[in-house]
Structure 1
Amino acid sequence: MDSNFKTEPLRLNDLVDDLITNHGAWRVVRVLVANLATRRHRRPRTDHMSDHLRRDVGLPPSHPPPVLLDLRF
């Protein structure tokens, strides 16, 4: 058994206090503000994926399938 195993859940206050203790308040604030200012929600790029992979993840094919002519008489 791991001796560092804790049964009580971690609280956000405890985690933030540890960050400030280890790195300093100004550094923690600077990193938080920088991440909030530069965080962008980007869509994953799927243009490089083959049609087989696109189908596996539930996306439509990148181009429509070829039209097959009806050659019955």
Structure 2
Amino acid sequence: MTKEQSLRVNNVSQAVDDLFRHFGVWATVKAMLVVAWQHQQTKSHVTHLSDHLRRDIGLPVNKSRSGPPLIPPWFPRF
């Protein structure tokens, strides 16, 4: 890490103000929205995975399910 990356920000409003002055308001807002969107997209939904797959990726195994499956087999998965 460089020296600039390892600094802590004590005053958030001042840091945001510096970003606005350096990059502009719209570029900063756009970057914040892109990061928020990417963070939302990285949340993985693993409720549909079988116990075997959950074990393979290191997740805890669900208790045995009684009743119909949560996602029907014909439901498209993207």
| TM-score after normalising by structure 2 | 0.38
| TM-score after normalising by structure 1 | 0.39
